[in-house]
Amino acid sequence: MKAILISAVLLAGMAFPGAVRAQDPKIPADTEVKTTPSGLSYCVLTAGKGTEHPKIGDEVVVRYSGWLASNGKLFDSTTKHPGGQPARFMLGRVVEGWNEGLQLMTKGARFKLMIPAKLGYGSRGAGADIPPDSDLIFEVELVDFVKGEAILERPTLDPSRTVTLPSGIKYQVVKPGEGATPGPKDMRVVNFSAWGKSNGSLMTCAQFQKGRRTSLTAVGGDFDFLKDLAPKLKKGTQLWVELPGKLLPRPGPDILWNLECEEVVPFGAPKDAKTTKTDSGLEITILAEGKGESPKPTSTVTCHYTGWLESGKVFDSSVPRGEPTSFPLNGVIKGWTEGLQHLKPGGVAVLRIPGDLAYGARGRPPVIPPNATLIFRIELLKVK
């Protein structure tokens, strides 16, 4: 969750030569230098075209060279790599000086960026090339950029609207959401971004994980330290959150979270639904019938699913990933092989699978204990 090293990530596994025209860290004498409130200084060497600027989450294409401000030593450049292609990366995944500076540019612009250490690699430095507390100079040409999915903005909590939970978590309701409040074991599918409270830097977000959302219930989820907020989330709810660093698995600085609940997946079957128990002990509750032919034991199926332990802990789900899963029906646990044969494409069911039809005495450490009963909600999309 740190700003990512340019030479390690922007360049890893790719060839980026490029043609940054100037190989000199000096600022041209006749060029106006501007300084932003953060301390970033920059000057325009070549004006860009148009009025659109890249934003955090966009993929940018750049040519660049970087020098140590202290001695003018060139430590990185796209001109040093074979292949003729510029660098490509998601804005937001590099040091703060780059994140800020590139948002000032338009396509075709060429800037000099003077990045103080606090907006670069700070007291940690970056390997042998960038010593601790180094100010940096970059010459950057913004070749192109492609719009990405918008990242949730950095929260700015209003103390007059903030509620503090017993755990010390503070939150503010930005959007109340709609409908009834989900049950404690219902899975909330949450878009998110997390920002350093002290430095305002983007630490992580769904878009850094290829758009994967996080799952959250009142008994835990991907981010267990946020579970106290699950009762506050229903579909459409947006919260701004201040999380004390002491609640993290590894205590650290306080973090600001922007959470938006996009979907809720109910736990178990409705009380008034008809449940059938088979001779094997599998319990099946059909919620939607579907149409067409049911799969056979050798069929390949495509489905969306969510799996819970009886405690309400979600251990796996395709829904936050945004992509269904395909697999041969004879290559999964017995409860799935049997249960899905009762569905048709478009059908939805809840399966309550006893341990002997799931992972048995071995379990699936560390996620699924031995002999655990599993509850799945499954939507069968396709049979092949």
3-state DSSP of 88-127: EEECCCCCHHHHHHHCCCCCCCEEEEEECHHHCCHHHCEC
Rg (CA), the chain: 26
DSSP annotation of 334 reads H
CA nearest to 24, candidates 84, 62, 91, 77:
77
Cα dihedral 279→285→286→292 (10° resolution): -30
* d(C-alpha 309, C-alpha 297), whole Å: 25
Residue 383 tokens read as 């049979």
Three-state SS at 356: helix
At 16 the pLDDT is 31
Residue 160 tokens read as 């007059």
At 321 the pLDDT is 95
At 27 the pLDDT is 85
6-146, CATH topology level? Chitinase A; domain 3 (3.10.50)
> Which CATH code, of 3.20.20.70, 1.25.40.10, 3.40.640.10, 3.10.50.40, is assigned to 275-383?
3.10.50.40
Q: Does the predicted TM-score (pTM) go above 0.75?
A: yes
**Alpha helices, DSSP H only, in the chain?**
96-102, 334-340
Asked whether the beta carbons of 7 and 95 are under 8 A apart, the reply is no
- The CATH 3.10.50.40 domain(s) of the chain lie at 6-146, 159-265, 275-383
Tokens 């409860």, residue? 335
* d(C-alpha 335, C-alpha 31), whole Å: 71
Side chain identity, residue 23: Q
Active site residues: 305, 315-316, 333, 359, 376
List of the chain residues with pLDDT < 50: 1-22
Asked whether the beta carbons of 59 and 89 are under 8 A apart, the reply is yes
Asked whether the beta carbons of 49 and 142 are under 8 A apart, the reply is no
Half-sphere exposure of 48 (CA within 13 A, CB side): 23
- Phi/psi region, residue 210 (left: phi>0; alpha: psi -120 to 50; beta: rest), is left
For domain 159-265, the question of CATH label 1.10.1060.10 is answered with no
Any residues with CB less than 8 A from the CB of 37 and at least 6 apart, and which? none
At 201 the pLDDT is 85
* d(C-alpha 182, C-alpha 234), whole Å: 6
